[in-house]
Structures are given as structure tokens and as C-alpha cells.
Structure 1
Amino acid sequence: MTTETRPFGFWTATALIMGGMIGSGIFLLPVAIAPYGWIGVVAWIVSILGVLAIGYAVAAMARLMPEATGSIAVTGAVLGPLAGVLVGWSYWISCWTAIAAIAGAAISYLSVFVPWLGATPLNGALATVALIWLLTLTNLAGTKLAGQVQVATTILKLVPLIVVVLIVIWLWGSGRGSAPPWPGTGPGYAGLTAAITLTLFPLIGFEAAGCVAERVQDPGRNIMRATVLGIALTGLLYILVSSGMAFALPAEQVAASPAPFALFVETFVGRGAGLFVAAFAAIAAVGCLNGWVLIQGEVPLGMGRAGLLPEWFAVVNARDVSVRMQLVSSGLASLLVFSTASRSLSGAFQFAALLTTCAALWLYAAISLAALVRRVAAMPAALGLGFSVWAMWGAGVEASAWGFALMLTGWPLYWWAKRAPTVGTAFERDGLI
């Protein structure tokens, strides 16, 4: 393939991973983690190690099968077409539910400058849907443009994180910082599982390069490098930022704030600096949204090209973009936003985030299992599988049941694809089975 069909080099792939991770989650999560004290720090470390293990398995399988269209196609090739369809469908669901959550977070930070956006739940819903479709139109122009937008916004979104890290360093250097007692006054070790579930959502997106492997140049090499580097850098920033904010501000002070990062900076530096950070936090969420809009079209496209879904899903325009699935995905994300219009922006975010995490976990478990079956990266794959099961349990019965039920909605598509004469030929042609 040429650079037109494989436009993502190492740095673009890394930006896709970091851009997909750094967004709404980290900018709204520190307040939820604050009551856990040091247990929250432990939860971050465990979650980062867990996604590193899964990410390594994803990259190892991409290296083993560089001709595959992505991680979902690899899963289908190893575990069977039915498993590929179900986990792929579940992951696609996690994409457009994530889009609803991330777009809402972006509007939440923009409401600092335009209060009308958050004045009523309906205002927030309308603005959220408008932002979703703006980024959808950007992606319809082609994956190359979407990749360029991702690189630019990833660089810009690091600004608020770096500002917070510098403030944390200044607080500790000046003697104004203080750490809570170990393990803290919160739920203690008993709260670790719940804290891990909370810290997982901001890390979702680490698998992005593996899921769009057919767009990455030299995927056997670049996906591994981009995945490990992207997770390591993002994880380090997350620990410094979340822990610093949790230790410096009482949770009750920021509970009512739509922009906790801005409040943190404003508290220690001033109103102007707080507004500056709020602007870049909004950019960060927009960049994260752009990456997920790209992936929401690429996931079903890759499944269609691999023979896991009917050919209808593999139709592209002259720019090699899956217009049909972009429109369907953004339409569903918009419906989800409007269905939660009676909630506040933060309430809608939490609902969509819960759906996203539970739906994505099925792919993480499946790709780890596939690596174990092929005896590739066995230790990371075993750790990744265990972590995925632990996170499902930590999400609770209700959330896990929702994720399982949504995954099963893809079952009719498997039978539709099975009736088509081309099913399986993509695997056979590419040597995957």
C-alpha cells in the first residue's frame, strides 16, 4: 500500500494513541479519584500496567499478522469469525459511546467561556451534537487530514497537563504541598477495585494504532513502538497530574465545577491562567474526539474488509473513507446524547463513560486470549486477560451486563455475513487462516 492508503507513520500513530487517551477522562477524573488518597495512586499504577500488558499483546499480534486490517480481524482469525464479530461490534459500540462522553466533556470546558452552553441540559446536548458532526465532517474529508488534525491537537492538549505538573512541582518545592497519610481516610484497600475501574476509562484508546493497523506504515514495527511509548508517556502524565490535583484540592471544592483543571490553576495562579488552561483542555477533548471519530469508521470498515461483516460495511468513497459507518456511528452517538439530555453534562458524561468502558473490555480480553492461543507475548497476554476480567468485575454486575447485552446485538450480523459467498475469503486470501 502507498502512503495514501497507509498515511500513519510512527509519530502519527503515537499521536493517535496519546490523542485518544488524553481527553475527557483525565480532565474530569481527578475529582472522583481524590477521596481514595494514595489508593488512587496505586489504582493508576495498576491500570497503566494492565493496559501496557494488553497493548503489548495488541502490538505483538500486529507484528505476527501485519497483513491484517486490525486487532479485531486478528481476533476473528484466531478465535473464529463469531468471536471476531461480537468483540468487534462491542468495540465499535464503545467508540460511539466514547464520542458522546468526550464531546460532552469538551462542551463542559467550553461553557467556561460561553455559559449558555451549560445553562440547561438541552443547550449542552445541542452543542455536543454539533461538535460531533463538525468532527465527523473533518474525518469524511479523508484519514490523512484526520491524522494531521490529531498530531496538531495532541501537541496542544499537552499544554494544560504540563501547566498542572509545573504547579505541582512548584507547590512541593515551596513547601506548600502535603501528602495524605497512607493509605488515606477513604475506603482504603477495599476501594482499590473501584478506583481501578475509574482510572481505566481515561486510558481507553491505547489500542487505537492496533485497531487501524491497515492505515499504519510498517505496522509490525511502528505499532509496537507507538503503543508502548504512547502508554508510558501518557501514564506518567496521568499519575503526576491526577495525584497532584487530588492532594492539593479538597474534592468538595471542585464538585460543582464543570472544569476542575481550570479551577486548580485558578486557585494557585489566577483567573487568567485558569481560563488559559480551560481553553487548552477544551482543545484536548476535541483532539480526543477527532481520534475516536476516525476509529468509529475504521473499525467496521476493517471488519468488512476482513470478511467479518457483510460487504455493505466495506464500501468507501473516493477518499477511502467509510462514509456509511461514519454517518451511522455519529447518528447513534447523537441519539445517546439526546437520550441523556435530562441529565447535567457531568451526569451524561458518566453514563456514556460507563458504557464505553464495559464495551471495550471485551476486545481487551479477546485480543489477550488470542495472543495466548498463538503463544505470542504469553506473559503480557496472561496479565492483560486477568486485568480485563478484574476490571469487568469491578465495573459491577449491572454495567457488565449492559456491555454483554450490547455485544450480543452484533449476533445477527454474523449470520448475515455467513450467508454471503465472500465470508471467510478475506482470511484465506491474506493467509490468516
Structure 2
Amino acid sequence: MAENSKKMSVTQLTIITAVNMMGSGIVMLPSKLASVGTMSILSWLVTLTGALCLAYGFARCGMFSKNTKEGMGGYAEYSFGKDGNFMANFTYALSLVIANVAIGVSAVGYGSVLLDIKLSPVSTALWTIALIIITTVANFWGASVTGKIGSITVWGVILPVLFISVFGWFWFHGHLYASAWNVHDVSLFKGVSASIPITLWSFLGLESASANSDAVENPQKNVPIAVLVGTIAAGVIYILSTNVMQGIVPNAAIAKSNAPFGLAYATMLGPVWGKICMALMTIACIGSLLGWQFTVAEVFRSSAVAGYFPKVFNKVTKREAPVVGMIILMVVQCLLSLMTISPNLNEQFNNLVNLAVVTNLVPYVLCMAVAKTIQIDAGVKAGDRGYTMTNVITVIAGIYSLYSMYACGNLALAMGSLVAFAGWTIYGLISYKFDYKAM
């Protein structure tokens, strides 16, 4: 009893799961959706279904895998060996690096509107680089402070999003929403596909929900419940907040905005509240970036410990901060900021999101493919509870992941393919470390 009293309830794990997903990923989301039109609600339904299948698959992998401490790489190893473990870690780590730049661009977008500064593409990149450097250096003294800051600043996104989801309907105009259904007169398939990447972007991180299985009561029953309910809760809030906004503000204005939530609050409650919303979301993005800089460095450090990445990423200071790795990743993020310069901030953000989603989907595909093997290894057989359902759901999740890759567009697919081929090249150079035997 004493041990169980220290563990989380299913309600607590559900809340943590939902809050973990509702980070800074949503702040620029309405602008991209507005460029498609209100038909993007169909993309939400497709993505929510796919996200639920992925979440359930990860929950089952987490329950039965013996390699839970190695994350998605540990799952992938069941069917794909050390090669799969490496590729899952490699592509996931790079996707986080790319995502960090996208978060930085979001913060710059909201900050520029808040301070009424008109930024050129080069200025946007330079301010993003400045933010990347500041948040990296701030982590040199360890994760304890930045972790606490992040747990507070995340509410700068959650509270405005929750408020508009519930109370925004008082300012909602049905004719405004209906008139923006298909702004570019495209086919249903093309319209839905166009907004799949950005809707999936808001759910990235759902794989981390199953990592708390050891800390919850009755994990076999409660982890899937918490993961699924938490994903549904986040999805409902995403759908409500982004769709109510399109009935409050004209579609064209949202599509051009670098701070869409701030624009919606200014329309509903006046300019002052618009500024407050922008300030909260700017702070939330900076806090999120602060935390992710340390997290990304830790992902690279743990992979270096496993022998996948160079040992330089494993070096830590007296405060347990992988400073050398942080500096290397900071340089990479700065280069990415320069490489993705676009005519406007929204386009730069979209390019980064598409590439981050493609690279993040590689480990998703690998993990969904091994769910059957993980169950069999754990002694779960055909006819056992959940066995067949898990296999069916993970196949659907795998198909959805492949479709999402396609929806990210040719450029992101080409770049993602180069990342994957580069990964295999690198693994070939280090594979002698892992169970290699001469023929």
C-alpha cells in the first residue's frame, strides 16, 4: 500500500499526458490552417485518429518491451536490430533539433508583433539565432532551474488556448467560418493533405506518454487509458481553439498573421488583451525552447553513451550539463535558421515543421512495425486480450505515418530521405561495435 500511494493515479497521468502535448507547437498553427481554409477540420479528424492509434501502439510497446530505458530505439531493436535502434535515435534526435528552430521562429513571430517590429527574412533568422544562443547558454548551469521555468511558462500557452476554446464561441460568426471552407478551391484530398503535417506537429511527443509506466498504478490497464484520454483531450482543445478562431477573425488576416492567437484576442477583447496573449505566448515559447535545448542535448548524450553518437556528446560539466554537445547543437540550429530563410515567417515555420515531422515519423514507423514482435517476445499470444487489436491498430498507425510523410511534400521527403541515407552511412562506420562477426 505504501508503495502504491507514491504512484500516480490514472487521472494524474492523463493530465500530464495532455499537458506534455500542449506545448508551443500550437502557437503558429492557426495561420497554416487558415491558408487551407476551415476544411482543415477534416485534417484534425484524420490526425486525431492517427495520433490515437500511435499513442495506443506506444502504450502497448511500453508495457511489454524489456528495453523501455532506450525509448523508441529500444523498441525498434526488436525487429531491426542495432541498425533500427540507431536509426530511431538518429532521426528522432535530428527532428528535435529542427523542431527547436521552429519553436524559436514562433517566439520571434509573436515577439515581433508584440513589439510592433517589422522583420525582414534575414532579421527573422538573426533574431532566431540570438534566441537559440541565449537559451543554449542558459542551460550551461544544469537542468534544475530550466525545468522549473518550463513547467511554469507552458501555462502561457495552455491558459489562452483553453479560454478561447471555451469562451471564444461568444464571438463566433457562422458565416465567417462557412465562407472560408475552401479558400483555394482545391480537391478534398489535397485540402486535407495540406494541413496533415501541421496538425500532426501539435501531437509530436505523444510517444513520451508511455515512458511513465513504472510510476503509475496498474500500468497495463491505466497507461493505455491515460494515453488515449490525454490524446483525445489535447485533440479536442486543438480542434476547438483553431476552429473557433476562424469564426472570429477573417481567414485572410489569420493566414498572414505572425501571432494568430494575439490577433484573435485583440478582436475579441481589445488590443490590450491581444498584447497580453502575445506576451504570454512569447514567454511560453522561450521557456519551451529553454527546456528543449537541454532535452535535445540529453538525447544526444544518451545515444553517445550507447555508442551511436560521438563521445564528445557524452562530456558533462560538474553540474551534469553536456555543454560541449549543447554548443555543437547550437551551431547546427543556427545553420538551420540560415538555411531555411523564407520570404515570410510563416513559410519558414512551415518548412521547418514539415522536415521535423518527416524525420520524427521514421522512428514512429519503426516502432509500429515491431509491436507484434514485442508482444510475442513478452509471451502474449494470439487469442490473448489485446493482441489482435494491437496488431490491427499499429498497422493503421503505420499507414497513417507513411501518409503523413507524403503529405509533408516533396522537399521535406527529399530532405528526410537524405537524413535517413546519411544515418545508414554513419551506422556503417560504427556498426563494428555492435555484434559484428566476420563471415
Normalised by the length of structure 2, the TM-score is 0.81
Q: Please list, as runs of the form range in 1=range in 2, the aligned pairs for 1:96-115 lying within 5 A after superposition.
A: 96-115=97-116
Q: How does 1:5-24 map to 2 (within 5 A)?
A: 18-19=19-20, 21-23=22-24
Q: Which residue of 2 aligns with 1:357?
A: 357
User: 1:187 matched to which residue of 2?
Assistant: 186
What does residue range 150-299 of structure 1 map to in structure 2 within 5 Å? 150-171=150-171, 176-178=173-175, 179-180=177-178, 186-187=185-186, 189-190=188-189, 191-209=191-209, 213=211, 221=219, 227-299=227-299
Q: CA deviation at 1:339?
A: 2.7
**2:99 alignment partner AA:** A
Please state how far the C-alpha of 1:37 moved relative to its aligned partner: 4.9
Residue in 1 that maps onto 2:419: 406
Partner residue in 2 for 1:382: 395
1:75–1:335 distance in 2 versus 1, CA, 3 Å? same
Q: Distance in 2 between matches of 1:28 and 1:151?
A: 21
* Partners of 1:21 and 1:234 within 8 A in 2: yes
Structure 2 gap segments, 5+ residues each: 1-7, 376-386
Structure 1 range deviating more: 219-228 or 308-317:
219-228
Secondary structure of the corresponding residue to residue 180 of structure 1: helix
Q: Do the aligned residues in 2 keep the contact of 1:99 with 1:289 (CA within 8 Å)?
A: yes
Cα shift at 1:71: 1.5
Mapped pair 1:136 → 2:136: yes
Partner SS state of residue 258, structure 1: coil
RMSD: 3.3
Shift of 1:9: 11
Letter in 1 for 2:420: M
> Structure 2: how far apart are the matches of 1:242 and 1:232?
15
The residue that corresponds to 2:3 in the other structure is none
- Alignment-mate amino acid for residue 187 of structure 1: V
Matching residue's letter, 2:417? F
Greater Cα shift, 158-167 or 178-187: 178-187
Match 1:394 to one of 390, 395, 407: 407
Q: Secondary structure at the match of 2:202?
A: helix
How far does residue 381 in structure 1 lie from its aligned partner after superposition?
A: 1.5
Q: What secondary structure sits across from 2:113 in the alignment? A: coil
**Cα distance in 1 for residues equivalent to 2:312 and 2:78:** 20
Change (3 A) 1:268 1:99: same
**How far apart are the structure 2 equivalents of 1:67 and 1:219?**
17
Question: 1:38–1:183: 8 Å Cα contact kept in structure 2?
Answer: yes
After superposition, the Cα gap between the structure-2 partners of 1:257 and 1:181, relative to the gap in structure 1 and judged at 3 Å, is closer
Q: TM-score, length-normalised on structure 1? A: 0.82
Deviation at 1:215?
Answer: 12
After superposition, the C-alpha distances for 1:7-66 in whole angstroms (9 at most, x for unaligned) are x9997996587355531x422222332365553112112212212221222232222236
User: Contact 2:107–2:282 at 8 Å: present in 1 too?
Assistant: yes
The whole-number CA distance in structure 1 between the counterparts of 2:319 and 2:21 is: 23
Q: Distance in 2 between matches of 1:146 and 1:219?
A: 29
Q: Deviations over 1:249-277 (max 9, x none)?
A: 32212333221111111112211111111
**Within 5 A, what are the aligned runs for 1:16-35?**
18-19=19-20, 21-23=22-24, 25-34=25-34
Is 1:74 matched up with 2:87? no
Other-structure match for 1:83: 84
Matched-pair contact (CA < 8 Å) for 1:68–1:74:
no
Give how far 1:241 is off.
0.7
Contact 2:146 2:290 (C-alpha < 8 Å) held by counterparts: yes
For residues 267-346 of structure 1, the aligned pairs below 5 Å read 267-309=267-309, 311-341=311-341, 343-346=343-346
User: After TM superposition, what 4+ stretches of structure 1 lie above 6 angstroms from structure 2?
Assistant: 8-14
Contact 1:165 1:240 in 2 (8 A): yes
Tell me, in whole angstroms, the C-alpha distance in 1 between the residues paired with 2:319 and 2:212.
15
Name the SS for the 1:187 alignment partner: coil
Q: Displacement of 1:85 after TM fit? A: 1.5
Q: Aligned partners of 2:187 and 2:417: how far apart in 1? A: 30
SS at match of 1:365: helix
The 3 A distance-change label for structure 1 pair 236 and 351 is same
Amino acid in the other structure paired with 2:188: Y
Query: 2:149, 2:13 → 1: CA distance?
Result: 10
Identity among equivalent positions (%) equals 24
Provide closer, same or farther for how the CA distance between residues 48 and 295 of structure 1 changes in structure 2, counting only shifts above 3 A. farther
Q: CA deviation at 1:216?
A: 8.1
Q: 1:216 to 1:109 in 2, by over 3 A?
A: farther
1:203-246 superposed Cα distances (whole Å, 9 cap, x missing partner) = 22222456xx5998579949767644542332121000111112
Amino acid in the other structure paired with 1:105:
S
Give the drift of 1:159.
Answer: 1.9
1:184–1:369: structure 2 CA closer, same or farther, 3 Å change rule?
A: same
Gaps of 5+ in 1: 1-7, 426-433
* Residues 21 and 202 in structure 1, CA contact (< 8 A), matched pair in contact too: yes
Q: Could you tell me whether the CA contact under 8 Å between 2:37 and 2:251 is conserved in 1?
A: no
